[in-house]
Structure 1
Amino acid sequence: MSSGMCVRCGGRIIALQKETVAREKARQLSDQMSYPVIYRMLKGIVVCGVCLDALPLIGHDICQRCGRDRKWQASIGSEGLCRDCVHGEDGQILVANRSLLRYEKGEKDLLGLFKYRGDERLASYYGTLLAVTVQRYYRSMGFTCITTVPLHPQRLRERGFNQVDLLARHLGAAIKIPVRSLLRRTKDTPKLSKQRGRVSRQESMREAFAWGEQSIPSASTVLLIDDIYTTGATLRSCARTIREHLGPSCEIYSLTIYR
């Protein structure tokens, strides 16, 4: 029995094969309380069993601040932080980041299709992965709202849409948390992939965002989402702007597909 086409490989989804893999992955990603929810999400995601099994999931041994997998950096110390977070700036501006997948070659190609073509099936796919990540790491958090990293108006006109807004829409519906546009982008920065080194990325993102029009309580817990965490410069810049507006009683956590 088949149930649609896989958004990753284009092959048919074989329901029985998919269910077996979904159960195994749900056990890998969950505890006893979250297993049923994660299993249902993985069972419903529009990928075949082979592609689901091949997802480069981040392991359990991670940096407790940025979510980096020890597989990518062995120097996570006894305090639970990677080298970059130990020596990084901004302290607890961003309380923590969590991601589900390692950003490997095949993942870069698929994300590129979503970012620049806006395939709605991929929005649903990635939105479900974000919902799984919330269940894995943030299930007990009482978030006030979800917000996104905005595009500069010029970049938005060129692309026609903000892919992260599509993700937020799917995630908000899945976990029943409202989405709020808290920020606007005031600086048209070069693509981070074209900038060399952490310092240049941090400088390019300085004062790149301003507060938007919406109002939320100062003692809010905000879930900030983006597609990728690389150096964290973009997410920290967003978090800094939110904190400057709402004050120190606000807490900001981030969530990305890839790390």
Structure 2
Amino acid sequence: MNGKLGRLYEYFMGFLFPNVCQLCNNTAAYREEGYVCEKCRQQRTKISEPFCYVCGIQLNGNFEGIERPLCAQCREMPPYFDWARANSLSEGNVYQAILYYKYSHKVWFEHWLGKLLIETAQTYLDPADWDVIVPVPLHPSRKRKRGYNQAERLGRILSKSLNIPIKEIYRVVNTPAQASLNRV
């Protein structure tokens, strides 16, 4: 939105949701930042090399000369995917924002989480290698309970940024939530 209508919308949203960080409640933060202040955005542990080539977990130690280092879990029990990458460790402010976004309907966090996703994709992926983005589907009953599919919404942000089409698939079996499962 632009012009007078856009300014009116921003004013109204600012009235409903004051421009304060939704993590620390102390510092000014704005919608385009996901209402997360600079200090809270910086308080995260960014994953950097060395990391497991398969699951992307941060590794400790010297892996110099090893082209594709693996963590103990991926060596002992390889997962059913080729590889994964994450921007930051799932702790502190990142973890809190994910929980708020996923389970508490605080969708404004998707601006910040989407930026982290785009940053990671631009670092590790070549969009020319992708045909389509397929977000993990939610069963209709779980989607009704949450009100939205966060993977689909973040997938759309990534799709728009990288100019890769998005394709929805549908879950027909109501399997247990991934958060309740272990790796086995």
Task: Please classify the TM superposition score into its range, dividing by the shorter chain length.
Answer: 0.7 to 0.9
Pairing of 1:164-243 with structure 2 (within 5 A): 164-181=151-168, 183-195=169-181, 197-199=182-184
**Separation in 1, partners of 2:33, 2:129:** 25
Unaligned 5+ runs, structure 2: 1-18
2:90 maps to 103
Gap change, CA 1:194 and 1:140, over 3 Å in 2: closer
Question: What is the distance in 1 between the residues matched to 2:93 and 2:37?
Answer: 16
The residue correspondences of 1:1-259 to structure 2 (distance < 5 A) are 5-10=20-25, 11-13=27-29, 45-46=33-34, 47-71=36-60, 78=66, 79-89=68-78, 94-139=81-126, 141-181=128-168, 183-195=169-181, 197-199=182-184
Paired with 1:109 and 1:129, the residues of 2 have a C-alpha distance of: 14
**3-state SS of paired residue (2:85):** strand
Checking the alignment, whether the CA contact within 8 Å between 2:44 and 2:93 is kept in structure 1 is: no
Question: How far apart, CA to CA, are the structure 2 residues paired with 1:8 and 1:162?
Answer: 22
Higher relative contact order (CA 8 A, sep 6+): 1
Q: Is the 8 A contact 1:145 1:177 kept in 2?
A: yes
How well do the aligned residues superpose, as a CA RMSD in angstroms?
2.7
Once the two structures are superposed, what CA deviation does each residue of 1:148-175 show, in whole Å capped at 9, x if it has no partner?
Answer: 1101121112112111111111111111
- The answer to whether the Cα contact below 8 Å between 1:75 and 1:82 also exists between their aligned partners in 2 is no
Give 1:9's aligned amino acid.
C
Q: Which amino acid aligns with 1:192?
A: Q
CA contact (8 A) 1:76 1:82 kept: no
Q: Give me the TM-score of the superposition, normalised by structure 1.
A: 0.54
Which whole-Å CA distance do the structure 2 matches of 1:54 and 1:105 have between them? 8
Supply the distance in 2 between the matched residues of 1:76 and 1:151 (Cα, whole angstroms): 38
Q: Using a 3 Å threshold, how does the CA distance of structure 1 residues 75 and 66 change in structure 2: closer, same or farther?
A: farther
Give the C-alpha shift of residue 140 in structure 1. 6.1
Q: Deviations over 1:53-76 (max 9, x none)?
A: 2122112210111111014xx697
Q: What is the TM-score of this pair, normalised by structure 2?
A: 0.73
- Identical positions, percent: 27
- Which residue of the partner structure matches residue 211 of structure 1? none
